[in-house]
Structure 1
């Protein structure tokens, strides 16, 4: 079997390792250069499913490197009112096939370091500066890939791992589009100094996601990201050190039409004016933001995925289930895809399953958990931007009640089932860190 992957991002690189590990011939075609693939970015939280995928797909050296340079973070998801009074604190549990329930394990790593870990050892597999243009099904059952440099390659299976603006998806499933959901996110980060740490409540600084739910429209997300001391990637000056990330969500139509053109200082002042009556610590936090790292994002998301007719072409990650960044599930869902697709194609290569049937099974399973992730992400974004005070007060009341009644909390945070065929999640709990961590 010969597999072609378009895109060497998180999902594509993980899949490439998984296929190689199982003796399947694979080539990855990436339009960017080797250096552009590890440009700086915000931190990523790798959850239990993401870690399982990496542990099973990556060579042991890559997995050990990930464990060495990542850091454990708080496993709770918390909700507060605008005065930082706790509404609800909950953790995510996973129900395994053998009936055991485990608590989600989350590790933090910078995006650039994760990309480097995933691409390490793929130098003979990835073709850089290779821009995919289109594909064509051949009479012999092969899929021919055409590139902008006028070259072409024939493969047995084409995997579109080329991100939210996927060319593979646009040709294969043109009806599936990213939709503007009417929510705008203003994102910033603040370097964690000793003075800032002393001024903030410690529960905002354990790495757990913290959601501020005010009575008024808008919502704020706050979480700490700690940088490993001994990094392997040559980070830029904007990436060095620990930082607190914040993101303020509100309805797009509540902003001026020119919001995307606002200078960083004006964006900061605008958000501060909207939270003027909130806890002073939150106001101070945003005021101290690095102005070069404040940005505005108009949120987009895929709609609920419906079944399609399977073929020798399929997709993973943002290429098929792009979601908002509100709950940090995008990268982890892509890694989960990579593991499931590795297992699927390995069964085909070993002669245990027919190709199209196997891909259909993969897509059915992927749609189940991807739709759940997309729906949670979308609902979180829409709830944060909802302008109905009645709905917001009701939501806060439900959170307070759930905090005191575990059965209601379980309804809001149900136990996640491990995916069929992915087996029991069993991760090494030994992590290697520097002495200062």
Structure 2
């Protein structure tokens, strides 16, 4: 931290306006600590924010409670979204979990609605939109200068990287890099109840997962009536690029996806036929090595995917939000000693992320095993029995 002016409050920069970065900024401002969020999106409505999330009581919901957002969350959440079915490639239902009215503990909420809730706790002037980070320079007297793609820059005394899987801020702390796990394709069925009523009834108000050997087909309902269909497959890191889906005719895309699921139940693969032409988006799924740590620094830290990128099995957003409120609490408890705040936060976060990351890795591996449907069904049945 720049110590040339001990009376000046440290300038805190949060790189990344995702769920974790906004939870941090909102909690800091709630405690009278100023911070600026630098977000690459051009504005709050610059793009859609993806599908739905189930918020865990011990992490995501805890963060919202700390922020004073519990009632607003309940107003936007969809308890019916907890309904889940697990099927095998033959279309047999192995698990059908339906929450009792008023009994669900992990209601779904659309990611966009959740982001709006978090933005409501951050002053408008504290978010700097359209600022894509391109470089970080350490300043001679301490702190950092952030360089942005628009040619601008900003100086800070404390830098928090909430900039996701490909974090630039992470490079200041560790050589750890994400490891490739699988490929993920997402497609969409918009206005499903009206346009595809049979598919909408099949998916129901929540989600389903059909699991085979190194291949998964999923579908999840969003609050806006969209059903998001996903394909996950264990292939190499260049597979998505080699497919050239973006340049192919839609009929060819559909035919090639059917080839992936040759022999699967026709009721399941009808999800592919129902998807909107041109809606396919592909990416790789990656994760940081479980237990990634770094020597604590007094002026830089990370949260969320930048700190502990995990397989997407439901923990990432929850842990990012919890990171944000716990880091803000640490800054409030050590107002005159940011180094102590960062060290205290990282000690807890490292241990928590190692446990959750190991669990997430086991679930991810289980979900792409040869007997994935049976194994995951057994896992969910054990969890239900234990709850």
Distance 1:84 1:302 in 2: 34
Output one character per residue of 1:147-183: Cα deviation in whole Å (capped at 9) or x when no partner: 344644242x22111222222111222x1112222x2
Partner of 2:354: 371
Tell me by how many angstroms 1:136 deviates.
2.1
Q: CA RMSD in A?
A: 3.3
Gaps of 5+ in 2: 1-8
Alignment of 1:318-329 (within 5 A): 318-325=305-312, 327-329=313-315
Q: In 2, are the aligned partners of 1:38 and 1:113 still within 8 Å (CA)? A: no
Distance 2:240 2:127 in 1: 44
Output one character per residue of 1:367-414: Cα deviation in whole Å (capped at 9) or x when no partner: 23333444444444444444xxxxx24x555556667xx6xx14x997
Q: In 2, are the aligned partners of 1:73 and 1:108 still within 8 Å (CA)? A: no
Q: In 1, are the aligned partners of 2:331 and 2:341 still within 8 Å (CA)? A: yes
Partner of 1:187: 186
Distance 2:46 2:105 in 1: 27
SS in 2 for 1:40: coil
Distance 1:317 1:304 in 2: 14
2:129 paired with 1:159: no
Partner of 1:259: 243
C-alpha spacing 1:371/1:201, structure 2 compared with 1 (3 Å): farther
2:37 paired with 1:54: no
SS in 1 for 2:35: strand
Tell me by how many angstroms 1:74 deviates.
3.5
SS in 2 for 1:292: coil
2:287 paired with 1:301: yes
SS in 2 for 1:341: helix
Distance 1:365 1:51 in 2: 18
Q: In 2, are the aligned partners of 1:38 and 1:112 still within 8 Å (CA)? A: no
Instruction: Count residues in correspondence.
Output: 364
Q: In 1, are the aligned partners of 2:334 and 2:340 still within 8 Å (CA)? A: no
| Aligned counterpart for 1:136 among listed residues 132, 135, 138 | 138
SS in 1 for 2:255: helix
C-alpha spacing 1:256/1:70, structure 2 compared with 1 (3 Å): closer
Alignment of 1:14-163 (within 5 A): 14-35=23-44, 38-48=46-56, 49-57=59-67, 65-75=72-82, 77-88=84-95, 104-109=105-110, 111-120=111-120, 121-132=122-133, 133-136=135-138, 139=141, 142-148=142-148, 149=151, 151-155=153-157, 157-163=158-164
Q: In 2, are the aligned partners of 1:32 and 1:130 still within 8 Å (CA)? A: yes
Partner of 1:244: 227
Distance 2:296 2:52 in 1: 32
SS in 2 for 1:293: coil
Partner of 1:423: none
Alignment of 1:334-353 (within 5 A): 334-349=320-335
Q: In 2, are the aligned partners of 1:80 and 1:88 still within 8 Å (CA)? A: yes
C-alpha spacing 1:324/1:290, structure 2 compared with 1 (3 Å): farther
2:339 paired with 1:356: yes
C-alpha spacing 1:399/1:332, structure 2 compared with 1 (3 Å): closer
Partner of 2:297: 311
SS in 1 for 2:295: coil
Partner of 2:5: none
Output one character per residue of 1:221-269: Cα deviation in whole Å (capped at 9) or x when no partner: 2222222xxxxxxxxxxxxxx1222211222259687214452433322
Q: In 1, are the aligned partners of 2:211 and 2:368 still within 8 Å (CA)? A: no
C-alpha spacing 1:199/1:147, structure 2 compared with 1 (3 Å): closer
TM-score, with structure 2 as normaliser: 0.81
C-alpha spacing 1:291/1:364, structure 2 compared with 1 (3 Å): farther
Alignment of 1:258-277 (within 5 A): 258-261=242-245, 263=248, 264-277=250-263
2:209 paired with 1:211: yes
Moved more, 115-124 or 310-319: 115-124
Q: In 1, are the aligned partners of 2:161 and 2:167 still within 8 Å (CA)? A: yes
Distance 1:162 1:401 in 2: 36
Distance 1:399 1:324 in 2: 15
Tell me by how many angstroms 1:70 deviates.
3.7
C-alpha spacing 1:220/1:359, structure 2 compared with 1 (3 Å): same
SS in 2 for 1:252: coil
Tell me by how many angstroms 1:289 deviates.
0.3
